[in-house]
Amino acid sequence: MRRSCTRFLSIVTFITVLVAASAPRILAQDTGSATTESLEKSFPAKRPYSPYADRAFPTRVFFGDTHLHTAFSMDAGAFGARLGPRDAYTFAKGNQVTSNTGQRVKLSRPLDFLVVSDHSDGMGFFPLILGDIESDFSLSRHFLLSWGVGGNDQGRRRSE
């Protein structure tokens, strides 16, 4: 039994050495060089997936702002923004507005689009605190007072 195991191991070792010695020659065979014809056959020319793939320049570019906070957002209002959405759109259309610092400002050309992305949490808190709620906030002072904002009835509706 021991003799047959030794013989088996020597045969396996011989085959392993033989395969290992011939592997570089088998793997290093030259497959030829690429020609234009063979490449065109392998990768046929077809219309690109995107019609804009071969264009070197944009054909229609839009300029705008995709994320703007006004005084109605808690974070912008807390850091000094005093202009509301109406002022933001007026400014984006290329009209002159007076900034938070009192300077008159105007864009050199109007924006093509503007996204006012005010936060819903605490919306209008700073305009309400500063008493500027009548000028631009969409809820009227009467509506806010009827819900107890700024009144003495601790937030209960006046109709109750």
pLDDT digits over 74-126, tens only?
888 888 888 988 999 999 999 999 998 999 999 999 999 999 998 888 777 77
Number of domains in the chain: 1
C-alpha separations of 114 from 73, 138, 142 in Å: 16, 19, 30
The answer as to whether 88 is a domain residue is yes
Q: Are 62 and 92 in contact (CB under 8 A)?
A: no
Distance CA 127, CA 81 (A): 10
pLDDT average, residue stretch 149-153 = 50
> Which of the four pLDDT bands, split at 50, 70 and 90, describes residue 150?
low
Domain that holds residue 100: 64-146
Q: Please state whether beta strands 104-105 and 97-98 pair in parallel, antiparallel, or not at all (unpaired).
A: antiparallel
Distance CA 6, CA 99 (A): 94
The answer as to whether 80 is a domain residue is yes
The answer as to whether 91 is a domain residue is yes
Mean pLDDT over the full length of the chain = 76
pLDDT average, residue stretch 11-32 = 68
The answer as to whether 1 is a domain residue is no
Could you tell me which of 127, 97, 94 has the C-alpha nearest to residue 113?
94
**Interior/surface letters 81-98, b for 16+ CB within 10 angstroms, e for the rest:** bbbbbebbbebbeeeebe
The answer as to whether 137 is a domain residue is yes
The answer as to whether 77 is a domain residue is yes
What's the token pair of residue 16? 């392993």
The answer as to whether 123 is a domain residue is yes
pTM of the model: 0.49
> Which of the four pLDDT bands, split at 50, 70 and 90, describes residue 59?
confident
